[in-house]
């Protein structure tokens, strides 16, 4: 089975937006800790957890315990997306008579534990795991604890107990965001090391200083350490835990408090504060503007594509873009599913397979079996029936569904019925067939026009700009509406992939900040622009935003 990548990514995005909607309506709540665990929640809920929203007490369901109960909006939003109750109910958060209170309780369907008083959820989870064993049941228990919560002694008593009873049906996640209620964890009660400076990022840079995992290993746990915002790493970790017998497992997920909203990220202030209702629509747009970088490996050494995949992975790519060419749909030939199968074990980063082949319906299963996470086929060689078959094969195998059109092709009418369920739409900005070509300028207007069309057709996927994208045009491609950016010669063709990807991200971020400032201005003029900019207290963001606002003439 593949990652079901976009299926999860889109639900995580929806859940984050519901968190903002609920907390803003309540005028109070905990966004920071809801967002640091957002990817963990999304992967558990939408890839692994077995449950039935119509039968919340199904006795064979898996259990998810939110021990850090103050992040209840992060739980409620996922329960809503999962179908336990209507999404609109999130606006009753913390109101009298509501099922959704500041901390979870059993009034709300899908809640397994009344969290809030910290330090207890792991013990409760152990009880559930022991009960499952006594009852001969095979369901799994997942529990999320906070790093600040680990100051509670009961957490460590529970750690000893789980190890004593060899509870391998229990998976704990440590939401390691380095911030607790009143300060950075490494200043209050270090799990790694005393934080001497003011810069929390120093805790990230040097993995040799990370001691949290050793604490749990010394208590007899199986420990996995991951980037808690990388879907592929979370999924890989949970799959590994499911194979681990005779010991409980903890996934130490290094996360960012407030992740997804720039001004909340790494800012202790957003532990428990609600956004200003005037600001909420700007945050909503920001959550819709997450972006991904997909290096295209055919721009590298075609005799050593394994090394090109490694370069992209070490460069912190979000996707690996694999250009399959059969010499028929395009004159060039690159590689087929056999090469993808060979490359698959190198990295868990999603494989974004772009099939420039004729008769894709005949071959698509080969690319599923080879390990593609996203498969995009060209509308020029499909019709409603063949693409419908491809769509069903991909959905059944949890592979994300992509459609591509060439620069001189418009979306055929038969695609209308698929648009609302499409995960990715590649708008080619070169004539397909090779990397290193120049971006076709008319693609900007075409993207703008198609984005407008798609909005009317409830498109909730991601537009991928593919062909001739580089540092000179990527910001414009973002402002056109693209959210995934393929870089062949502009990324893989460069010596230092990591710094090039970082430069791409900075350019796109500049475009997003410009878009958000424009949104602030449209909603509330200069006053709201200044309010928005003032929120960005951490690091140098404020001065960078002011510069953008000045360039745009808003301040």
SS3 sequence of 379-411: HHHCCHHHHHHHHHHHHHCCCEEEEEECCCCCC
Q: Kindly tell me the burial class for residue 255, based on how many C-beta atoms sit within 10 Å of its own C-beta (0-12, 13-18, 19 or more).
A: buried
Residue 105 or residue 503: which is nearer to ligand DX5 going by CB? Answer: 503
Residue 41 or residue 298: which is nearer to Zn ion going by CB? Answer: 298
Residue 16 or residue 446: which is nearer to ligand DX5 going by CB? Answer: 446
Q: How far is the CB of 500 from ligand DX5 (least distance, A)?
A: 12
DSSP, collapsed to helix, strand or coil, labels residue 418 as helix
Q: How far is the CB of 7 from ligand DX5 (least distance, A)?
A: 23
Q: Are strands 484-487 and 462-466 parallel, antiparallel or unpaired?
A: parallel
Long-range pairs for 48-51 at CB < 8 Å and ≥24 separation?
A: 48/140, 48/142, 48/238, 49/142, 50/139, 50/140, 51/82, 51/110
Give, in degrees to the nearest 5, the angle at Cα 475 between 473 and 480: 95
Contact (CB, 8 A) for 393 and 363: no
Residue 487 partner contact from Zn ion, ligand DX5, none using kind-dependent CB cut-offs of 5 to 8 Å: ligand DX5
Which residues of this protein are in contact with ligand DX5, per CB under 6 A?
296, 298-299, 321, 323, 354, 356, 430, 432-433, 435-437, 466-469, 486-490
Choices 93-101, 244-252, 349-357, 438-446 (CB under 5 A): range interacting with Zn ion: 349-357
User: Any residues with CB less than 8 A from the CB of 250 and at least 6 apart, and which?
Assistant: 171, 172, 173, 174, 216, 221, 222, 223, 224
- Restricting to residues 66-85, which ones interact with Zn ion according to CB under 5 A? none
Q: How far is the CB of 10 from ligand DX5 (least distance, A)?
A: 23
Residue of 388, 394, 402, 331 whose CA lies nearest to 367: 394
Secondary element (H or E) of residue 238 = helix 231-242
Residue 490 partner contact from Zn ion, ligand DX5, none using kind-dependent CB cut-offs of 5 to 8 Å: ligand DX5
Asked if 354 touches Zn ion (CB under 5 A), the answer is: yes
Residue 468 partner contact from Zn ion, ligand DX5, none using kind-dependent CB cut-offs of 5 to 8 Å: ligand DX5
Asked if 263 touches Zn ion (CB under 5 A), the answer is: no
Residue of 34, 69, 37, 12 whose CA lies nearest to 174: 37
Asked if 373 touches Zn ion (CB under 5 A), the answer is: no
User: Any residues with CB less than 8 A from the CB of 339 and at least 6 apart, and which?
Assistant: 305
Length of the chain: 555
Residue 60 or residue 441: which is nearer to ligand DX5 going by CB? Answer: 441
Residue 74 partner contact from Zn ion, ligand DX5, none using kind-dependent CB cut-offs of 5 to 8 Å: none
Residue 90 partner contact from ligand DX5, Zn ion, none using kind-dependent CB cut-offs of 5 to 8 Å: none
Residue 56 or residue 493: which is nearer to ligand DX5 going by CB? Answer: 493
Residue 179 exposure: Cα atoms within 13 Å on the Cβ side: 27
Quick one: residue 98, left, alpha or beta (phi over 0 = left, psi -120 to 50 = alpha)?
beta
Closest residue to bound ligand DX5 by CB: 488
CB count within 10 Å of CB 454 equals: 19
- Restricting to residues 410-439, which ones interact with Zn ion according to CB under 5 A? none
Residue 428 or residue 546: which is nearer to ligand DX5 going by CB? Answer: 428
Residue 225 or residue 466: which is nearer to ligand DX5 going by CB? Answer: 466
Residue 74 or residue 300: which is nearer to ligand DX5 going by CB? Answer: 300
User: Any residues with CB less than 8 A from the CB of 63 and at least 6 apart, and which?
Assistant: 112, 125, 128, 139, 140, 141, 142
Residue 354 or residue 446: which is nearer to Zn ion going by CB? Answer: 354
Residue 104 or residue 432: which is nearer to ligand DX5 going by CB? Answer: 432
> How many residues of this chain bind Zn ion (CB under 5 A)?
3
Q: How far is the CB of 404 from ligand DX5 (least distance, A)?
A: 8
Q: How far is the CB of 170 from ligand DX5 (least distance, A)?
A: 44
Q: How far is the CB of 144 from ligand DX5 (least distance, A)?
A: 38
Q: How far is the CB of 325 from ligand DX5 (least distance, A)?
A: 7
Q: How far is the CB of 431 from ligand DX5 (least distance, A)?
A: 8
DSSP 498: H
Residue 488 partner contact from Zn ion, ligand DX5, none using kind-dependent CB cut-offs of 5 to 8 Å: ligand DX5
Choices 95-103, 239-247, 348-356, 490-498 (CB under 5 A): range interacting with Zn ion: 348-356
Residue 405 partner contact from ligand DX5, Zn ion, none using kind-dependent CB cut-offs of 5 to 8 Å: none
- Restricting to residues 465-524, which ones interact with Zn ion according to CB under 5 A? 466
Residue 267 or residue 435: which is nearer to ligand DX5 going by CB? Answer: 435
Asked if 262 touches Zn ion (CB under 5 A), the answer is: no
CA distance 78 to 72: 10
CA separation (Å) from 150 to 121, 174, 251?
A: 11, 9, 14
Asked if 323 touches Zn ion (CB under 5 A), the answer is: yes
Give, in degrees to the nearest 5, the angle at Cα 37 between 33 and 40: 170
Residue 250 or residue 428: which is nearer to Zn ion going by CB? Answer: 428
Asked if 62 touches Zn ion (CB under 5 A), the answer is: no
Q: Which residue has the tokens 């997306």?
A: 81
Residue 286 partner contact from Zn ion, ligand DX5, none using kind-dependent CB cut-offs of 5 to 8 Å: none
DSSP per-residue letters across 62-98: -EEEESSGGGHHHHHHHHHHHTSS-GGGGGGTT-TT-
Number of H helices, E strands in the chain: 20, 15
Binding site residues, Zn ion, CB under 5 A: 323, 354, 466
């Amino acid at each position: 089975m593949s990652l079901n990548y976009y299926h999860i990514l889109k639900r995580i995005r929806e859940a984050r937006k519901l968190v903002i909607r609920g907390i803003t309506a309540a005028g109070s709540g905990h966004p920071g800790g809801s967002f640091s665990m957002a990817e963990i929640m999304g992967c558990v809920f939408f890839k692994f957890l077995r449950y039935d929203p119509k039968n919340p007490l199904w006795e064979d369901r898996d259990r998810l315990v939110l021990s850090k109960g103050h992040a209840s909006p992060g739980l409620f939003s996922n329960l809503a997306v999962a179908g336990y109750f209507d999404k609109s109910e999130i606006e009753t958060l913390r109101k009298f008579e509501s099922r959704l209170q500041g901390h979870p309780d059993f009034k709300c369907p899908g809640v397994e534990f009344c969290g809030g008083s910290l330090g207890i959820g792991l013990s409760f989870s152990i009880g559930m795991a022991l009960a499952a064993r006594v009852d001969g049941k095979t369901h799994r228990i997942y529990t999320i604890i906070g790093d600040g919560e680990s100051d509670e002694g009961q957490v460590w008593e529970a750690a000893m107990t789980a190890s004593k009873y060899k509870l391998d049906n229990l998976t704990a996640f440590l939401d390691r965001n380095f911030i607790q209620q009143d300060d950075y964890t490494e200043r209050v009660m270090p799990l790694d090391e005393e934080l001497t400076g003011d810069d929390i990022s120093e805790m990230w840079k040097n993995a040799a200083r990370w001691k949290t995992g050793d604490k749990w290993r010394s208590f007899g746990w199986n420990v996995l350490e991951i980037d808690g915002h990388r879907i592929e790493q979370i999924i890989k970790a949970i799959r590994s835990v499911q194979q681990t017998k005779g010991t409980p497992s903890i996934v130490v997920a290094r996360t960012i408090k407030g992740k997804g909203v720039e001004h909340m990220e790494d800012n202790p202030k957003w532990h428990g504060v609600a956004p200003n209702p005037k600001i909420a629509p700007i945050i909503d747009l920001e959550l819709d503007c997450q972006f991904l970088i997909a290096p295209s490996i055919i721009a590298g050494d075609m005799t050593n594509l394994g090394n090109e995949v490694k370069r992209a992975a070490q460069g912190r790519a979000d996707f690996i873009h694999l250009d399959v060419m059969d010499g028929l749909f395009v004159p060039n030939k690159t590689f087929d599913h056999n090469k993808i199968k060979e490359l698959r074990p190198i990295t868990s980063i999603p494989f974004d397979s772009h099939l420039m082949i004729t008769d894709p319906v005949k071959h698509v299963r080969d690319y599923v079996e080879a390990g593609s996470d996203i498969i995009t086929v060209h509308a020029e060689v499909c019709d409603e029936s063949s693409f419908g078959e491809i769509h069903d094969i991909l959905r059944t195998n949890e592979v994300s569904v992509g459609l591509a059109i060439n620069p001189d092709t418009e979306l055929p009418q038969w695609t209308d019925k698929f648009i609302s369920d499409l995960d990715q739409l590649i708008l080619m900005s070169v004539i397909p067939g090779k990397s290193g070509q120049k971006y076709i300028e008319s693609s900007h207007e075409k993207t703008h026009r198609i984005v407008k069309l798609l909005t009317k057709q409830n498109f909730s996927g991601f537009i991928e700009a593919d062909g001739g994208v580089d540092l000179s045009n990527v910001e414009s491609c973002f402002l056109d509406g693209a959210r995934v950016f393929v870089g062949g010669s502009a990324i893989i063709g460069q010596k230092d992939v990591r710094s090039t990807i970082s430069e791409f991200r900075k350019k796109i971020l500049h475009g997003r900040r410009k878009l958000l400032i424009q949104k602030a201005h449209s909603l509330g003029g200069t006053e709201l622009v200044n309010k928005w900019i003032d929120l960005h207290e951490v690091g140098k963001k404020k001065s960078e935003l002011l510069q953008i606002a000045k360039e745009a003439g808003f301040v």
